[in-house]
Amino acid sequence: MRKTLFKWHSYLALVSILPLFIICITGSILVFKAELDTLLMPQKMQVTALPQTPRLSLDSLINKVKNTFVNYEIGTWEIFDNIKNNQGRTDTAYIIRHTDNVWKKVYLNQYTGEILSEPVDLDHDLTDWLLDLHYQLLLATKGAFFGFVIALLFLFLAISGIILYRHFWLKFFTLRFKKAKQIFSVIYIK
């Protein structure tokens, strides 16, 4: 029984390393998503304004997007209002096409109301593609199910690891006074 469990534990660990590696690498890159977007697409991601410049009201920005893209409905909005060194990040409007319910996004200057891009797919930019890879492994709804299966796999690996290495865990949480006394006396002598 122990050999079979160890074999399953080893093989499933090898299988699960690839999605874990992908998630770790893309997550490490996406920590710097805003900085990368600003570096790769400064014309879409940066606005120039003074710190005391008032932003337009959200109602007027929504009306501007609705009037410009009449075949779309506004789904959600990312609001940014932090100006440092006369540079800030643009607002992003997420819009839904009426004909097929496909989500797109549009960048706009929240201080002038100028629309800075045409509607693009949610995975159009490099960092957005990485975000899709990170969350769904580029599989859309199936990716969420695949993520669930991987989570169950990790749960099995955790439980089987606790069973296989139970002697280590029993010793790990045991306080051994004699060993501790030896360690502290060696430290104290040095």
Q: List, for residues 10-23, the tens digit of each pLDDT value.
A: 899 999 899 889 99
**What domains does the chain contain, in order, with CATH numbers?**
1-40+125-190 (no CATH), 42-122 (3.10.450)
The token duo for 78 is 């990312």
Q: pLDDT tier at 122 (50, 70, 90 boundaries)?
A: confident
Write down the pLDDT at residue 125. 87
Nearest to 26 by CA among 150, 137, 130, 140: 130
DSSP H helices, the chain, are: 2-30, 33-40, 42-45, 58-68, 126-136, 141-164, 166-172, 177-189
Q: What is the tens place of the pLDDT at every residue in 26-77? A: 999 999 988 898 899 888 888 887 777 888 898 999 999 999 999 999 999 9
Is 161 buried (19+), middle (13-18) or exposed (0-12) by CB count in 10 A?
A: middle
Q: What is the tens place of the pLDDT at every residue in 123-177? A: 888 998 998 888 887 787 788 888 888 899 999 999 999 888 888 777 777 766 6
Residue 186 has pLDDT above 80, yes or no: no
Q: pLDDT tier at 87 (50, 70, 90 boundaries)?
A: confident
Q: Which residue has the higher pLDDT, 3 or 188?
A: 3
Cα separation of 55 and 112, whole Å? 8
Q: How far apart are the first and last CA of the chain?
A: 48
The token duo for 25 is 């690498």
